[in-house]
């Protein structure tokens, strides 16, 4: 979807402009108009704005342009540039993002593309040399952005968050998707929670387990293994679902025999990997995050979406206490 619009900072200001590109296909233009419509619908649900979600602050109706606050970096860029960024500030970012997801869910919206480059951050340094003195870096704001794939679910009395949406196509980035988002079948608020759990792992220093490196992707291409299957197998190893949870996931995504076969293949392959490499479990390689954070991530990544923590429960957990 990135090719369907232009994004650029307004010269000399803290505003970013999202607008149509003049020479693209009419079909792309309609997609962009759909994005505009979605942004307006979302803004209508937040008449007073939000400090945890990036909404547009103005628009030009004639040129179909939206004006957004400009942020210094993304979470992806921040951790790449400053791998020793202070842990307290990382937890602050996670807490802010959790609050943003909760605001969305409370209004009945699913984000469906929660990932490190859709988290925008402003930070400042209290040191004259921010590159060497990481301890001086302080996050001043962090927001969840890019609601292009977002959907509003029908109102549900006493909502448990598990009203399902059937898109029948993958949604979001393959490396950050929940299992059900890999197929687009049975999407719920729990799908965002799963993706957020992967963000937690990333920000706490485990990107090598989550992301497909260029070298690994070339190997997958040579062996004709889809990225989706690779991620399925990894997650089966990391989170080691019970047979009961796995079977419910298959049922949750009912209606697609191809994906059911892929899931079962990944489940069995994951078990074989763990027999040879038991240290592939999150409970092994995630020990530096602490027992509470490991427990929290495992409860957010249950294969049965009904048994995942809701975002409000995540927000209240000890793992997000800043001290």
Domain extents in the chain: 2-69, 73-320
Residue 129's pLDDT is what? 55
- The Cα–Cα gap between 301 and 188 comes to 13
pLDDT tens for residues 61-107?
777 788 889 999 999 999 999 999 999 999 999 999 999 999 999 99
Q: Tell me the H-state helices in 56-138.
A: 75-81, 87-106
Q: Residue 267: CB partners within 8 Å, gap ≥ 6? A: 236, 241, 246
Whether the per-residue pLDDT at 10 is higher than 60: the answer is no
pLDDT of residue 127: 65
Mean pLDDT of 280-297: 91
Model confidence pLDDT, tens digit, residues 236-252 = 999 999 889 888 888 87
Q: For residue 64, what pLDDT is reported?
A: 77
* More confident site: 290 or 132: 290
- Among left, alpha and beta (phi > 0; psi -120 to 50; other), residue 195 is alpha
* SS3 call for 241: coil
pLDDT of residue 131: 55
- Name the residue with higher pLDDT: 214 or 33: 214
Q: Is the pTM of this model over 0.85?
A: yes
pLDDT of residue 22: 53
Token pair, residue 306, equals 């009904």
Higher pLDDT, 298 or 165: 298
Element (H, E) at 194: helix 189-203
CA atoms within 13 A on the CB side of 299: 13
Select the more confidently predicted residue: 119 or 153: 119
d(CA 244, CA 232): 17
73-320 to CATH, choices 1.10.510.10, 3.20.20.80, 3.40.50.300, 3.40.190.10 = 1.10.510.10
Does the domain spanning 2-69 belong to CATH 2.60.40?
Answer: no
Q: Would you call 129 helix, strand, or coil by DSSP?
A: coil
């Amino acid at each position: 979807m990135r090719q369907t619009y232009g994004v650029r900072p307004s010269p000399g200001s803290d505003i970013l402009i999202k607008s149509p590109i003049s020479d693209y296909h009419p079909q792309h233009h309609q997609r962009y108009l759909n994005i505009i419509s979605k942004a307006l619908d979302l803004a209508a649900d937040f008449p007073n704005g939000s400090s945890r979600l990036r909404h547009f602050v103005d628009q030009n109706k004639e040129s179909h342009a939206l004006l957004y606050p400009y942020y210094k970096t993304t979470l992806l860029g921040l951790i790449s540039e400053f791998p020793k960024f202070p842990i307290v500030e990382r937890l602050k970012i996670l807490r802010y993002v959790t609050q943003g997801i909760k605001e969305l869910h409370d209004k009945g919206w699913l984000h469906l593309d929660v990932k490190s480059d859709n988290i925008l951050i402003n930070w400042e340094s209290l040191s004259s040399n921010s590159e060497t003195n990481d301890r001086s870096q302080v996050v001043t704001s962090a927001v969840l952005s890019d609601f292009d794939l977002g959907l509003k679910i029908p109102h549900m009395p006493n909502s448990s968050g598990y009203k399902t949406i059937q898109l029948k196509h993958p949604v979001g980035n393959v490396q950050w998707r929940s299992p059900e988002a890999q197929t687009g079948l049975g999407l719920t608020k729990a799908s965002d929670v799963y993706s957020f759990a992967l963000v937690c792992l990333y920000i706490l220093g485990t990107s090598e387990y989550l992301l497909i490196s260029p070298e690994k992707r070339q190997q997958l291409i040579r062996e004709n293994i889809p990225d989706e299957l690779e991620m399925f197998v990894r997650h089966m190893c990391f989170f080691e679902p019970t047979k009961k949870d796995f079977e419910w996931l298959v049922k949750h995504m009912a209606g697609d025999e191809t994906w059911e076969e892929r899931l079962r293949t990944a489940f069995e392959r994951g078990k074989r990997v763990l027999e040879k490499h038991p240290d592939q479990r999150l409970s092994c390689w995630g020990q530096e995050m602490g027992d509470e954070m490991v427990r929290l991530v495992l409860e957010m990544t249950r294969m049965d979406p009904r048994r995942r923590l809701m975002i409000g429960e995540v927000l209240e957990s000890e793992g997000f206490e800043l001290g």
